A and B are shown apart, each in its own frame.
Chain A
Amino acid sequence: MKELINYLADPIRSFPITCVLYFLMMKYYKVVGTKKFAWIAGTLFFITAGMFAMDPNFWLIITWPDNIPISILILSVGFLTWFTLYKCAENDKRIEAGECPIEALPENREKVWAWPNLVYTELFAIIAGTAFLIAWGILFDAPLEEPANPTWAPNPAKAPWYFLGLQEMLVYFDPWMAGVVLPGLILVGLIAIPYIDTNPKGNGYYTFTERKMAVSMFMFGWLVLWLYLIIVGTFLRGPNWTFYGPFEFWDFHKVVAEYNVNLSEFFWVFGLKQALPGNLIIRELPGIILTILYMGIPVALTFNSLNAIFQSIGESKNKFLNITMIAPAFKCLAGIPAFIEKTGYIRYYIYVYLAVIMAMLPVKMVLRWLFSLKYIIALPEWELNL
């Protein structure tokens, strides 16, 4: 069993699993968003966690002072996600029944005094938070390390826990992509949300049906692409940034067979059976073309002729297409002209490009796992790799 879990925990497998779980959660959010589900899931979670903790290697990982925030994070995010879905499910049921959301009930629209309703409760939060931090500080010593030594780097060298998602991205991307461009875009994207998302629905109340797109897009980025990567980086990456299953001993000498190949090498050496061209641009042309094509997708989606095809697939009654969610996805794509009509082209492109760039991460991960692809565009001469 432990071997199986170790096997499944490898990002190659656990990432798709997480994606599927995420998808199921969003699809059946009305089931997830019930108290009954919370009780069952919570009980199962604690039982499993208890069983996991019996393993000495797992126990070592979760009790390492560095990792305690992650354990807290898992618990709190788990609860808050469920809570959101619970509220959404409640409201959506009401909305479907033609009622207003709970938050819009007259008794909930009544205004209240800032004191004591706000200020007093804030004080509670401050006291409770301080007490919690002090207790934490007494119980666990700061995880200090040995004096820094330039010739003796700690192994694994880990960033602070909140950056471990970024560090995990470094596995798949060039440092300037994973370290500068992508984090920068995350910030820009977060700043841009209020300007892109002009949908007034959901203001002041929980709902999913009224803003499916926005909620699932954000939650995917937050839960799957950010938190999942932090958890992997914290719990499952050991010495040499090698993957270790949750029950695996962090053997310093573990070696993993990994040899990554650039797209240009695939194309020229294996595809055309010829030496790499000396001209850098020609050498990387396949990757550049692919990237341009990828970046062209948002533009292509606006073409009317394509839209008709999307429409036909989207309305297909084929069982397979429906179960695999291909038909609904195309239905979604078919809605793009309507979307543009609502938002305008500028918002559309900003939004879609943010989404496309976000999608680069899972795309690149999958390519790496499937083909050991190193870089799509490899221009180390210009320090420009993608």
Chain B
Amino acid sequence: MSKKLEPGMAYDMKKLNKVFAFLSILFLAVTFWVFLDDFVRPWKAVQIQGLKVKQAKIDKDLAIEAKKIDDKKIAEFDAKIEEGEKLHASRSEVIEKLNEDLNKLDLLMKAETIKNGQLNSNVSATNFNWELAHSHHSKNEPDLFKLLKKYKKEFAESKDRMKGLTTQIKTAKKDLLATKSELTKALREKAEFIGARKLLLQARKTTEIDPIFVIRNAPMGDFLDPTLKVRQVVLNDITDDRYFQHVPKVDRCMTCHLNIDKKGYEDVAQPYATHSKLDLMVGAKSPHPMKQTGCTSCHGGEGHRVLDFNAPAHTPQNAEQKKEWVEKYHYHPPHKVPQVQFKVGYVEASCIKCHKGVERIPGGTVVNEGIRNLEKFGCYGCHKIEGWEHKRKPGPSLEKIASKVSKEFFKNWVWSPKAFNKHSNMPSFFSQANNSKPEHMKKNITEVNAIADFVFSKSEGYRPFSKFSPGNKARGKKLIEQVGCMGCHGVEGFEQDSKKINAFAGPYLTGTGSKIKSADWLVSWLKKPTHFQEDTIMPSMRLTDREANDIATYLLSLKNKKFEDLKFEPLDDKVRDDLLVEYFSAFDTLEVARAKLAKMDDVARTHELGKRSVGKYGCFSCHNIDGFEGRAPIGPELSGVGSKPLTQFGFGHEYDVEHSRGGWIKAHLQAPRRWDNGIDKPFKDLLRMPNFNMTEKQADSITVALLGMVTDYIPLRGVKSLDHHEKVYAEGMKVANKFNCVGCHKVKNGQWDETGGDLLKKEEYADDLNMGPPWLVDQGHRVQADWFHNFLKNVTPIRPWIQVRMPSFNLSNEEINALVMGFQAGAKQQTFVDNHAKIEWTPGEKNEAKRLFDALACASCHTTGFNKDEAQAPNLYLAKRRLRPSWIKKWIMNPQSILPHTSMSNFFEDGEPSEEDYFDGSVEKQVEALTKYVLEIGDIELPKAK
């Protein structure tokens, strides 16, 4: 208080003013900061860079255009234009006169139009008055009627004059145009020639940074009509959960990914590149247009955020990319984002959330591979998956196992399936990372012994119906290859093809001689699988006794000596009793548990432990075992695993595993017991998920399929809802998948839906796919429903020159119907076609049809019934009963459009008939006649197939 202040003042006013000035400037600065912070956005830089990318592309296109345009051609056009102008000028007199006439006509027309309009309103008004007068019987009714008649007459006359004038005006205008027709034509030609360039130049202008661009995007003014702006799509059919409220999804990814829906930027680096699958995704004409499907619906992440690179939760592909992003964009893993973006290669996971109720997803190559692997490894056996309830248990039934393999084999197999068959889909439970300690092994050995005793004790008896007599091994091997066993089985001796086909419906046939207990069993099984197991999917190949014995001889010759010599350690009574006491003491004291044990005899104890162990390891989840019907599978449900919070995944002490859902699942699939590392656990609590020895690729594909199993709510109108046809088709495909029809046949339905045909990957068919199982393209349109039904019930060969056999499947009537209806619905066909009417010929048509039939040499391939040559195409006498007439027409017209590799000739290439002399060269008539002919011979008694 050294300085004296004015009375009534605590502070010096000058000082206060200075403080105020300082604060005002500070506040102003902060205000500017607000606008600057709002104005400077990372995406604006991206968009400006995007302009350059676009410019470069336009410049490239312009250069191409410029090459097309040469000066000589332009000069030519200019000369023509000049000539046209001259001609136009020379006709000036005529033009003048025409213009004069036109003026006059226009005047008359205008006057007449007015008059006509007045008359029209007079007619209407008088009409109203007269009708009123008429219905009320007014006195002036006759007068009004007279007046009305008069107006009507005048109106008609005026209308007539107008028509005349219109014609005159039209003629005059036409004449006027004709005077400069040469000029117009020349101008148009030139415009067409340089039009593309003109458009490009216009487009290029929009990419330039000129004063107008600067003004439109200037700070504070940029709310009016900026060119740099946030771009977005709003999806009404797909919603986002915003704090208990579902609001339409908003994706703004295209703010930076500017060209994602535009063709021509395929080779540009991100974010400016075109979508890699434009015809399936994003493209306006694709099934998933950007405006309807958006981006994050499939990719995950937060599509509405454009704050900076990190905001939308981008996910790097690998550690290298992560490092690169950290340097470039200060990347950090997203916080508090329930679903971060999928890595490249994982995006197809999202297909699953909308495409439900189908066996395979059209166009989803990666995810379909994942689904196939889920089937192959039988994950759904132990883990419930919504929508997979219809699938049969992945492993074979053990209800009659005692008649098939020996107990010793069973134990060694359970202990280590891969030791017997490295292709086995049965996973390994024992000698794994978490149970290899000696004390664990001892307990495991006891458990396996008990399981074997228990399962064998439950096994029913079975007597083979056939006797084995040794056959020819070489012939057996050949038969295996020929008849099509490899559609479902890999086979030792055909390693390369087996690997290519990668079949899994049946076991890989190796060491069969060491596995199968009785040769009679094998022959009976080969001949009639249903005799052993009623609900097997193994079909009968209609083998003769000799064929069956030959095949059995080959299979029995496949031995695994090393495995045969294995001796499984016997059961240790003490360990067994200890284990049982542990089970019994779960809810009782040790004393009670011991007393309970004491009451049991030796066999009962072993069986009790066997039963408990089957339950513990979940054997019953994959195999039918007597006494376990209806038990819930042992693994946790996978239906919502893609939405499970990351914090609920137990990473244990595995710090190298990528900290994401995908990272965990993949690591889990490759080494399921790893989470026990460094954790002290009692024997009974050790992780039990078995080891499938998956390759990284397999684990990756399954990870993709599992990540798609999310619990996201999607409005019904946003998901793919199957229409009636698609639903029936999907049901049919379930049966086709169950019996592994797709192991041999490629099934194709529509543009995107294509599955199966694994057997066609055999080396043998590499040159000629026609020698393999036929493709089922448009099958529902091709064959008639009743024929198809009968065929599945009682298979008869259609293509005798093909060695691979269509098996006789053990299909129920419902399953046959599902298949028939499925294919039929896939092709959107009615069940029945009227195919019984007698063929009506126009005079001479039949003869000409016959001659055309001969001219096209149809019988050179379709020989059956026509000549003695060996058939190379199906019997035409059967066509009427088998095929639908409309399909026959379509087929004759262009077979390659249906089956690209067919050997059937295309007689009407590019819509031109190869034989022009028939039916006046009319394609329709020729096709019609041939179809009629084929249908008619179907009525003739069927000649026996050769």
Instruction: Report the minimal beta-carbon distance from A242 to chain B, rounded to whole angstroms.
Output: 15
Contacting pair A128 B23 (CB below 8 A): yes
A86-136 residues at the B interface, CB under 8 angstroms: 107, 110-113, 116-117, 120-121, 123-124, 127-128, 130-131, 134-135
Q: How far is the CA of A370 from the CA of B946 in the complex (A)?
A: 99
Q: Which residue of B lies closest to A152 (CB)?
A: B645
Shortest distance from the beta carbon of B42 to any chain A beta carbon, whole Å: 14
Q: Is B587 an interface residue (CB 8 A)?
A: no
Contact of A112 among B9, B16, B20, B647 (CB under 8 A): B9
Whether A124 pairs with B20 at a CB distance below 8 angstroms is yes
User: Among the listed stretches A32-40, A138-146, A161-169, A280-288, which one makes contact with chain B, having 4 or more residues with CB under 8 Å of it?
Assistant: A138-146
Segment with Cβ contacts to A, from B147-155, B239-247, B516-524, B777-785: B239-247
- The answer, yes or no, to whether A255 is at the interface (CB within 8 Å) is no
Contact check, A134 vs B244: say whether CB atoms are below 8 A apart.
no
Binds A, one of B27-35, B219-227, B405-413: B27-35
B654 smallest CB distance to A (angstroms) = 13
Is A252 at the interface (CB under 8 A from chain B)?
yes
In the assembled complex, A155 has its CB within 8 A of some CB on chain B: yes
**What's the least CB distance linking B562 to chain A, in Å?**
44
Please give me the residue from chain B that is nearest to A135 by CB atom: B30
Q: Is A272 an interface residue (CB 8 A)?
A: no
Q: Is the CB of A120 within 8 A of B20?
A: yes
B16, A134: Cβ atoms closer than 8 Å: no
B11:A117 contact, CB within 8 angstroms = yes
Nearest chain B CB to A363 CB, angstrom units: 37
Residue in chain B with minimal CB distance to A154:
B336
Min CB–CB distance A148 → chain B (angstroms): 5
Closest to A107 in B: B1
A145 and B336 contacting across the interface, CB-CB below 8 Å: yes
Inside 8 A of A155's CB, which chain B residues have their CB? Answer: 647
Measured between beta carbons, the chain B residues less than 8 angstroms from A252 are: 647
Contact A113 B33 (CB under 8 A): no
Count how many pairs of residues, one from A and one from B, have CB atoms less than 8 Å apart in the complex.
61
Q: Is B66 an interface residue (CB 8 A)?
A: no
Given the contacts A121-B16, A135-B30, A252-B647, A146 and B8 also touching, CB distance less than 8 Å: no
Q: Does residue B37 face the partner (Cβ distance < 8 Å to A)?
A: yes
For chain B, the count of residues having a C-beta within 8 Å of the partner chain is 29
Residue B132, interface by CB 8 Å: no
Rounded to whole Å, the gap between the CB of B23 and the closest CB of chain A is 5
1/0 contact string of B311-341 vs chain A (CB within 8 Å): 0000000000000000000000000111000
| A147 CB–B CB distance under 8 Å | yes
Once bound together, how far apart are the Cα atoms of A127 and B16, in whole Å? Answer: 14
Q: Of all chain A residues, which has the CB nearest B20?
A: A124
Given contacts A134-B34, A147-B242, contact A116 B11 (CB under 8 A): yes
Q: Is the CB–CB distance between A131 and B336 below 8 Å?
A: no
Residue B26 interfacial (CB < 8 Å): yes
B8 engages A113 (CB within 8 Å): yes
Q: Would you give the shortest CB distance from A192 to chain B, in whole angstroms?
A: 33
The CB with the most chain A CB atoms within 10 A, among B23, B244, B337, is that of B23
Is B269 interfacial (CB 8 A cutoff)?
no
- Contact at A146–B338, with CB atoms within 8 Å? yes
Known: A124-B19, A127-B24, A138-B33. A113 touches B9 (CB 8 A): yes
Contacts of B156 in A (CB 8 A): none
B336 close to A144 (CB less than 8 A)? yes
Which of B16, B20, B33, B244 sits near A148, CB closer than 8 Å?
A: B244
Could you tell me the distance between the alpha carbons of A121 and B20 in the complex, rounded to whole angstroms?
9
Contact of B8 among A111, A121, A134, A148 (CB under 8 A): A111
Question: Complex Cα distance A145/B645, Å?
Answer: 14
| Partner among B8, B23, B33 whose Cβ is within 8 Å of the Cβ of A135 | B33
| Contacting residue for A131 out of B19, B26, B307, CB 8 A | B26
Determine the chain B residues whose CB is within 8 A of the CB of A124 once the complex forms: 19-20, 23
Closest to A111 in B: B8
Task: Report if B10 contacts A (CB, 8 A).
Answer: yes
Given the interface pairs A127-B24, A130-B27, A131-B27, the reply to whether A146 lies near B337 with Cβ below 8 Å is yes
- Cβ A112 vs Cβ B645 within 8 A: no
Across the interface, name the chain A residue whose C-beta is closest to B13: A116
What chain A residues lie within 8 Å of B647 (beta carbons)? Answer: 155, 252
A152, B648: Cα distance in complex, Å: 10
Annotate B217-257 by CB proximity to A: 1 below 8 A, 0 otherwise: 00000000000000000000000011110000000000000
Given contacts A120-B16, A252-B647, contact A148 B243 (CB under 8 A): yes
Minimum Cβ distance to chain A for residue B695 (Å): 31
| Beta-carbon nearest neighbor of A130 in chain B | B27
CB nearest neighbor in A for B337:
A146
Nearest A-chain residue to B1, judged by Cβ = A107
Q: Smallest CB-CB separation from A128: which chain B residue?
A: B23
Q: Is the pair B11, A121 in contact by a Cβ cutoff of 8 Å?
A: yes
Task: Give the CA-CA distance A1 to B265 in the complex, in Å.
Answer: 58
CB distance from A118 to the nearest CB of B (A): 9
Contacts of A144 in B (CB 8 A): 336
Instruction: Assess whether B8 is in contact with A147, with CB atoms less than 8 Å apart.
Output: no
Contact between chains at B27 and A127 (CB < 8 Å): yes
- When C-beta atoms are compared, the residue in chain B nearest to A148 turns out to be B243
A146 CB contacts on chain B under 8 angstroms:
336-338
* Distance A134 CA – B38 CA, assembled complex (angstroms): 13
- Complex CA distance for A111 and B23, rounded to whole angstroms: 27
B338: which A residues are within 8 A, CB to CB?
A: 146-147, 149
Known: A112-B8, A155-B647. A131 touches B337 (CB 8 A): no
A146 to B242, CA, bound (A): 9
Distance (Å) between the CB of B537 and the closest chain A CB?
A: 40
**Nearest-Cβ distance from residue B394 to partner chain A, whole angstroms:** 31
Residue on B nearest A131 in the bound complex, by CB: B30
Within the assembled complex, what's the spacing in Å between the Cα atoms of A107 and B242? 61
Report the separation of the CA atoms of residues A205 and B33 in the bound assembly, to the nearest whole angstrom.
42
Q: How far is it, in angstroms, between the C-alpha of A197 and the C-alpha of B337 when the chains are bound? A: 53
- CA of A30 to CA of B9 in the docked complex: distance in angstroms? 32
Closest to B11 in A: A117
What per-residue 1/0 map shows which CB atoms of B663-689 lie under 8 Å from chain A?
000000000000000000000000000
Give Cα A130–Cα B28 distance, bound, in whole angstroms.
11
> Which partner residue on chain B sits nearest A141 by CB separation?
B307
Chain B residues lying within 8 Å of A147, measured Cβ to Cβ, are 241-244, 338
List, in ascending order, chain B residues with CB within 8 A of A148's CB: 243-244
Report how far A147 CA is from B336 CA in the complex, Å.
9
**Complex-state Cα separation, A131 to B33, whole angstroms:** 10
Q: What per-residue 1/0 map shows which CB atoms of B339-361 lie under 8 Å from chain A? A: 00000000000000000000000
Q: Does A138 lie within 8 Å of B9, measured CB to CB?
A: no
Question: Are A138 and B11 in contact (CB-based, < 8 A)?
Answer: no
Q: How far is the CA of A127 from the CA of B20 in the complex (A)?
A: 9
Q: A124-B19, A146-B336, A147-B242 are in contact. Are A134 and B10 (CB under 8 A)?
A: no
CB neighbours (8 Å) of A111 from chain B are 8
CB-CB < 8 A to B11: which residues of A? 116-117, 121
Shortest C-beta distance, B332 to chain A (Å), equals 12
Q: Which residue of A lies closest to B23 (CB)?
A: A127
Shortest C-beta distance, A173 to chain B (Å), equals: 28
Given the complex of chains A and B, what is the CA–CA distance between A117 and B338 in angstroms? 54
Compute how far the CA of A123 lies from the CA of B21 in the bound complex, rounded to whole angstroms: 12
Question: Which residues of B have CB within 8 Å of A117?
Answer: 9-11
Which chain B residue shows the least CB distance to A146? B336
- Pairwise interchain contact B10-A112, C-beta atoms closer than 8 A: yes
Q: Shortest Cβ distance from B645 into chain A, in angstroms? A: 5
- What residues of chain A lie closer than 8 Å to B645, measured between beta carbons? 152
Segment 18-34 of A: residues with Cβ below 8 Å from B: none
A120 to B26, CA, bound (A): 17
Q: Could you say which residues of chain A place their CB within 8 Å of the CB of B307?
A: 141
B33's closest neighbor in chain A, by CB? A138
Q: Using Cβ atoms and an 8 Å threshold, which residues of chain A touch B34?
A: 134, 138
Can you give 14 A-B contacts (C-beta < 8 A)?
A: A112-B9, A112-B10, A116-B16, A121-B11, A127-B27, A131-B23, A134-B31, A138-B33, A138-B37, A147-B243, A147-B244, A148-B243, A148-B244, A152-B645
A residues contacting B by CB (< 8 A) are: 107, 110-113, 116-117, 120-121, 123-124, 127-128, 130-131, 134-135, 138, 141, 144-149, 152, 155, 252
- List 7 A-B pairs, minimum CB-CB distance, nearest first: A146-B336, A112-B10, A117-B10, A131-B30, A127-B23, A113-B8, A147-B241
